[in-house]
Homo-oligomer: A and B are copies of this chain.
Amino acid sequence: MKMGTGQLASLLASGFKGKVYPVHPTESSVLGLTAYPDIVSVPETPDLVVLVLPTDIVSRILDECGKAGVTAAVVVSGGFREIGGQGVAKEAELVEVARRHGITLVGPNCIGVSNFHIGLNTTYFPYDHEPGGITVISQSGTNSCHIYEYAKNHAIGLSHTVSVGNSALTDISDYLAYFADEPNTRAIALYIEGIADGRRFLEVAGNATRKKPVVALYVGGTGAGARAGMSHTGALAGDDALYDGMFRQAGVMRCYSMEELLDWTWALSLSPLPSGKRVCVLTNAGGPGASMADSCIREGMQVPVLSEALQSSLRAILPYTAATANPVDMTFLMDFNALYHEAPRILMESDEVDAVVMYCVFGANLFRTLMEALPGRIDYEMEKYFPFVMELLAKLAAMPQQYGKPLILSNFWGTQDNAPRFMAANGVPVYLTPERAVSAMAALCRRSDIVAGIP
């Protein structure tokens, strides 16, 4: 259960295909791999070293790495600036060693970096899910890697994660500048406790947001949050309004929770942006439709009454009990062609609608639960039925790119159900509650404003 063992195990479990050399002072084998007593014994110069060592020997070992030609290091060990006193001097020494050898240093007091597109994961926690488009740059190691299972459970795909730790040599602005041009990164999530060089952040972030959406969770704006950051990474937090203004000026979207950070960047990493704020709420259930409509207005979007012509196209394919004004409530409809294909297509094609939020695309879970609970009593042929539905869902999933308009789904079952999971895997985000879907749509609208230069 030691940190180093866990990190190595996680690296191996995440499918990294490159070579891995454990270095250990006494063991000849670690997790089945040949171990080496020191860096000079390793058969070749590694591209990256990860140091998980007692604080007092970190600088000496980094110096050995530098002499061996290493140019990049992640220092996981803590006990530096974040504890004050002697830790400050130890961190200065570490930086001096790194500078002397030209080593790019992540940390210290960090949990590592990940690039899921190549299976590189130097954190303690395995990532057992498809890579995606979200890159997380975090002043908390935990917030960069405890989220892997959360991401998997929500079908949210991550691209890279960086735990910057104490940012002794490289800080959040350096990573932001890098990932602004990194091709697999389509949205950037920042977790911030405090920014030392505000002027540089403003410049870098202003440049990054011209290329990609950036969302920030800043927790240092209250006394308690600032105290937490200080003891955690030694971050110097600042006035909340100051950060608010800085984010606004740089085009960074500010959120207030880890849920929003991942919900928003998920939609931003997948979806085309709306060209206006006219949202159509499409639903097969009244309550979630009403919730989504109400939330759209509270979030500053519009839910316009559809024209008579558009409503009459919808009425032609929907039951007489359906509502068509907007929300379009299809009611509990079992005509899957109307539900998943015709109704959304009519709306996506219309120039009255900039975006669609939809409840719900449901899959096989419900029927499976019933069939398992009542064996032999329900002879529902899922094998016959689902290929047909999946074909319709494939058409639905293609619509955002086809029409250049966002489609966001909501479904209480979540992506553990096969149909929502299919949609998520095919580029359409699915949120667990109606309000979260609307919140993500609002994030797309704000990003549209930022792109258009509207503050």
Contact = CB atoms under 8 A, between A and B. Distances in A.
A333 B83 CA distance: 16
A293 B414 contact: no
A352 interface: no
A384 to B, nearest CB: 13
A4 to B, nearest CB: 12
A222 interface: yes
B78 A294 contact: no
B369 A225 contact: no
A31 B297 contact: no
B126 A6 contact: no
Given A287-B142, A412-B149, A436 B227 contact: no
Contacts of A202: none
Given A9-B377, A435-B257, A232 B150 contact: no
A217 interface: yes
Interface string A59-80: 0000000000000000000110
A58 to B, nearest CB: 14
Contact of A329 (B14, B31, B228): B228
A294 B218 CA distance: 9
Interface residues of A, number: 95
Interface string A294-330: 1111100001010000000000000011010111010
A231 B318 CA distance: 15
A191 to B, nearest CB: 6
Which of A147, A303, A414 is the most central at the interface, judged by chain B CB atoms within 10 Å of its CB? A303
A47 interface: no
Interface in A263-294: 281, 285-291, 293-294
Contacts of A141: 285-287
A286 B222 CA distance: 16
A221 B258 contact: no
A325 B227 contact: yes
B321 A281 contact: no
A224 interface: yes
Given A146-B412, A416-B153, A370 B303 contact: no
Contacts of A432: 150, 259
A287 B150 contact: no
A233 interface: yes
Which of A143, A286, A331 is the most central at the interface, judged by chain B CB atoms within 10 Å of its CB? A286
Contacts of A257: 291, 295, 433-436
B291 A217 contact: yes
A228 B79 contact: no
B232 A287 contact: yes
A291 B229 CA distance: 9
A14 B369 CA distance: 10
Contact of A433 (B125, B191, B258, B369): B258
A139 interface: yes
A220 interface: yes
